[in-house]
Structure 1
Amino acid sequence: MSLIKIITPNFQYEDLRGRLVQLVRTGYCQVNIIESVAGATRGGHYHIQNREAFYVIGGKLKLTVWHLNVGTQKEEYEFSENAMFEIEPYTIHSFEFIEPTMLVSMYSMGVELADGKKDIYTLNS
């Protein structure tokens, strides 16, 4: 069983003027743009309450994931332009950027919780 889910944009339209990509219609409330240089790493954390989805606008990255409660077997994926995937709660995720990369990150609830805490945890937290 894969620890991530490959998903697709909700809607896409392209004509002579260019392209429109509607990533989602519902299900997410916090949206971020992430820009990373080649060789950078990010992540190494998990969320308890949030599903997080990513859409690669451009560039290339390696994603490493493993589930906090199921064991330590890691899965690795490479994603590039137009790839879209979703990570479930309790899945530790880490990114290594192979090329300069821009991606969209979307949280199902938002990282900042109502009680002021953040839904971002590391193995040491």
Structure 2
Amino acid sequence: MRIIWKYDAQMAKYIYIVEDDEDIRFIVEYVLREEDYTVESFATASAFNLAIQGNKPDLIILDVMLPDGNGIDICRALKTNKRTGHIPIIIMSAHAAEKSVLEEACADDFISKPFDLNHFLHHVKQQLRA
């Protein structure tokens, strides 16, 4: 008997979502799971900060305005930390200008809210390939 293993580059990709809006968090999580990503989501910066101490995701999707923190500050802290600096981060915001967020936060990518789900998935896949 011969066993053939098919490698799926998407398999085992682990994504953290930090988004306080329950509806957006649900939709983003649902869409990513439908694409066979492993997803963990957080409504607050403090919950995310606890989780990032243990597991290291392959990608972080981070809202700017959180009830207990600022996504730009969180992103900058992650990017300047040796343990997390290599993790791609996509910033999402309805209020921030793309260029200033990318520069100020040191983010890898930016998605403006509201967003098209296909556009969103394209950005996720691009960052996971990088």
TM-score (norm 1): 0.26
Considering fraction of residues, name the structure with more strand: 1
Considering fraction of residues, name the structure with more helix: 2
TM-score (norm 2): 0.25
